Amino acid sequence: MMKKFTALMLATVMTATLAACGSNGAAGSQATSSPSEAGANGGSSKKIVIKYWYAFGDKIEEAKLHLVEGFNDSQDRIEVVAEHQGDYEDLHAKVQAAFAAGNAPAVTDLESSSTGVFARSGMLEELTAFAERDNAELQLEDFNPGLMGNAYVDEKLYGLPFMRSTPILYKNVTLLKEAGLDPEGPKSWDELEQYSRVLKEKGKTGMTVPADIWFYEALVAQSGGKMLSDDGKSAAFNSPEGVAPVEFWKKMVGEGLFKIPVGDEAGATADKDWANQLSAFKFASTAGVNGSLEIAKGNGFEMKTSFMPANKDYGVPTGGCQLVITAKQSDEEKEAAWEFLKWMTSKENTIYQHKNVGYLPTRLSALESEDLKAHFKEFPQYKVAVDQLEYARPRPMESAYPEVTKIIREAIEKSILDPKTNPQDAMNEAADKANKLLNK
Tens digit of pLDDT for each residue in 170-225? 999 999 999 999 999 999 999 999 999 999 999 999 999 999 999 999 999 999 99
* Domain 167-317+400-438 coded CATH 3.40.190.10: yes
CATH of 7-165+318-387, one of 3.40.190.10, 3.40.50.2300, 3.30.70.260, 3.30.1370.100: 3.40.190.10
Taking Cα atoms as reference points, which of 414, 74, 29 lies closest to residue 246? 414
| Nearest partner of 359 among 272, 290, 271, 294, judged by Cα | 290
Asked if domains 7-165+318-387 and 167-317+400-438 share a fold, the reply is yes
Please give the model's pTM, rounded to 2 decimal places. Answer: 0.84
**Domains in the chain: boundaries:** 7-165+318-387, 167-317+400-438
Contact 349, 53 (CB under 8 A): no
84 in helix, strand or coil?
Answer: strand
Question: Model confidence over 275-310: pLDDT tens digits?
Answer: 999 999 999 999 999 999 999 999 999 999 999 999
pLDDT digits (tens, 9 = 90+) for 67-123: 999 999 999 999 999 999 999 999 999 999 999 999 999 999 999 989 999 999 999
